[in-house]
Amino acid sequence: MKSGKILILLLAVLVLTGSLCGLAEAISENVPAASDQALASSNSAARGSRENPISTLEAFSFETEVLANGVPRTGNEADYQTLRISMTLENFLTPDYFARNYSRQFKLQGTEAGAEFSLTLEAGEGEWIAQDIVGFTLENEAGDVCRGYQLMDREMAGSYDVLLQPGAAVKFYKRFDFNQLEEPKYLVASYWQGGEEHKAYFVLEELIDYPTLSRGSRGEDVQAMQQWLIGLGYLDDVADGIFGQKTEAAVIAAQQAGGFEANGIADTPFQRYLFKQEIQLPEEEAPQAE
């Protein structure tokens, strides 16, 4: 009789232990780790926020409220219009860029810099001066802000009062002094809704125009591309600077993986995509990728 009670007690302990283990397992499966929660929080950040900024060449649309006199609705004015604007940051123009392209025509200070972007008035009526209805500033990682100069329609010596009209994409340039802001990182567009200011952050990135490469091309540009193709596992060969059959096949494989037309021709968009991929490469061999 005594042994029977002991057996029943042992069975109860085993059942209870199993239940607790199952409960613990269920909790562990349904409660995310702290790192997972942090990642989820980051991924849920609003598009265009500082935590989730817009990439170069990526279009982003926002709505801003303006008054009839062409200024933002910063209060509770009843007579206003809502404009829907699409914005795409297209390039970050560095002092080196201005030196390469304008040092012969203009007397430069060596601190010229700017952001190239386009605006399209997707919804709304009338003509508007872009810099009157939307604010544009530069910002770095530390949060320091540079207001820069007025918007122009050209990189150098352009017009300022450029009109934004329904349906037409207009190119703008936001120039600033590179020395006024340490390591600029964002172009920030400020707009207004319900009397409150909102901001959209665009990542400043210098986009390089690469020479188009195809079978028969030779030189350092081919060699640099081959190094990336090797590092990413597309090319099983040496980086000899000769664009042959194996390199062409590797380019096609990389194009297919990146969603490009698989034609074996390495144009600028493809090379920008390729050089953004991370590989292990000795520092002295790394080309000037973006």
Average pLDDT over residues 210-238: 95
What pLDDT, in 10s, does the model give residues 153-182?
A: 999 989 998 899 999 999 999 999 999 999
Does residue 32 register a pLDDT over 60? no
Does residue 228 register a pLDDT over 80? yes
Residue ranges matching CATH 2.60.40.10 in the chain: 59-203
Q: Give the model's pLDDT for residue 281.
A: 58
DSSP 160: S
Q: Give the model's pLDDT for residue 28.
A: 44
Q: How far apart are CA 251 and CA 257, in angstroms?
A: 10
Q: What is the largest CA-CA distance in the chain?
A: 107
What pLDDT, in 10s, does the model give residues 245-280?
A: 999 999 999 999 999 999 999 999 999 899 988 887
DSSP 116: E
Which homologous superfamily is 59-203 in?
Immunoglobulins (2.60.40.10)
Q: How far apart are CA 200 and CA 119, in angstroms?
A: 13
Q: How far apart are CA 197 and CA 191, in angstroms?
A: 6
Q: How far apart are CA 134 and CA 132, in angstroms?
A: 6
Return left, alpha or beta for 180; rule: phi > 0 is left, psi -120 to 50 is alpha, else beta.
alpha
Number of Cβ atoms within 10 Å of the Cβ of 230: 18
220-285 CATH fold: Muramoyl-pentapeptide Carboxypeptidase; domain 1 (1.10.101)
β-strand partners of 190: 135, 199
β-strand partners of 114: 93, 175
C-alpha closest to that of 184 among 136, 221, 218, 220:
136
Residue ranges matching CATH 1.10.101.10 in the chain: 220-285
